[in-house]
Chain A
Amino acid sequence: MTALSLFAVTGAVLIGIGFYGLIATRHFLRRVVAFNLIGSGLFLFFGATGARGGVTDPVPQALIITGIVVAFSASALGVGLVVARARLSGRAALPEEEDGA
């Protein structure tokens, strides 16, 4: 396995881990963290794709930098919403499911 494939597969696994965190955890702050894992896994996958063919392509690099900044602003707004909700309701996590499923 080449280095690029290694990083691409790592990115794919990160997306899976992040997605699991996003749908299977209950605390909102952990969900925002998981959302960031999906984002950076996607960047790694995309970055490895952009480096195929010998030379690193600057266009994906620029898009990834844009993506990192946009992901940060989305996280800042998301975290603000989590805190605002906790202030109003005293909770920052989804309640237990009643049927135990």
Chain B
Amino acid sequence: MTLAFNAALCALILAAALATILGRGIFRSIMFFIVYGLLMAVAWVRLDVVDVALAEAAIGAGLTGVLFLAAFGRLVREGAEAEPPRRINPPAAVACVGLTAALTWAWFSLPIPERPGPQLAEALPRAGVENPVTAVLLNFRAWDTLLESIVLLAALIGLWMLTREDDWRNRLGLPQHVRPGGVMSGFGRVLPPVGLLVGVYLAYVGADRPGGAFQGGTVLAAVGLVAAMTGLVRPPRISAPGWRAVLVAGPLVFLVAGLAGALLGTNFLTLPAPVAGGAIFVIEVALLLSVAVTLTFLVLGPPEGENRR
């Protein structure tokens, strides 16, 4: 029964992926990608990794889908959404089948390791949190997470650098028009309170159970997007100093905590066991805010004025 479910799930995932690549039209491709992301989240639940499932559902399916749809809308405005006629490319297909075969061979020939490593079980009581994934993300492998938050910031700066000179002083993203009393403005009233609650809860509960700053931050980013798209709040300009401060708060607090660890006698980015729990909480709050705002701005895109063609 479980095998049948897993097999059906994998077949659906592969079908959605194929439709993403081979389906006619970019819009269809994006739709199938969103379906694919949600199926993928179910696959992660089947693998019993709920933290990843939350991240995949929120970022992989939700936010990436919105990003692609927004980009498609912009391409339609530029008249560049049409696709040249497609032909099957046999050499590329052969190469990709070979790649899949090689990976499959690698899977069946790799030795099965001892997991998880004994060091992790030994170190976990000193992490300050109970969710082992959060312990790895914010304590044992904090380097990765620090650099990840900086990558987010770098991507946003790169995106803003694509702004046209004339648009630089405009508000982020495309100007939004919402009909008062319509479906969209209804969404804008109903969704944000629920989203705020879910996002903060996900981040807070991440210390002990599945969740965390990135999953919670993504939900908050979705709230921010709904608020911007429904005209509830107007997106800021690039030069807004307050929003810039929020963008750097997460990496900055993380960095300061890492340096404090070095000064207190442990190593850089190694949190001393007695204060680890508190330190992780502070880092998570700062990261949550920065991640939420950075993701919102990444999806909104660089500022664009009215009537551009």
Interface residues of chain A, those whose CB is within 8 Å of chain B, are 3-21, 23-27, 29-30, 32-34, 36-37, 40-41, 43-45, 47-59, 61-66, 68-70, 72-77, 79-84, 86-87, 90-96
Contacts and interface: CB of A to CB of B under 8 A. Distances in A.
B151 A73 contact: yes
Contact of A69 (B10, B152, B299): B152
Given A12-B103, A44-B40, A62-B136, A86 B162 contact: no
B132 interface: yes
Nearest to A44: B43
- Tell me whether chain B's interface is mostly helix, strand or loop, or mixed: helix
A3 B46 contact: yes
A61 B50 CA distance: 9
Contact of A7 (B43, B55, B132, B137): B43
A9 B104 contact: yes
A73 B26 contact: no
A24 to B, nearest CB: 4
Nearest to A53: B115
A75 B110 CA distance: 31
Interface string B1-28: 0110011001001100110110000100
A15 B133 contact: no
Given A33-B29, A65-B133, A7 B159 contact: no
A69 B96 contact: no
B113 to A, nearest CB: 6
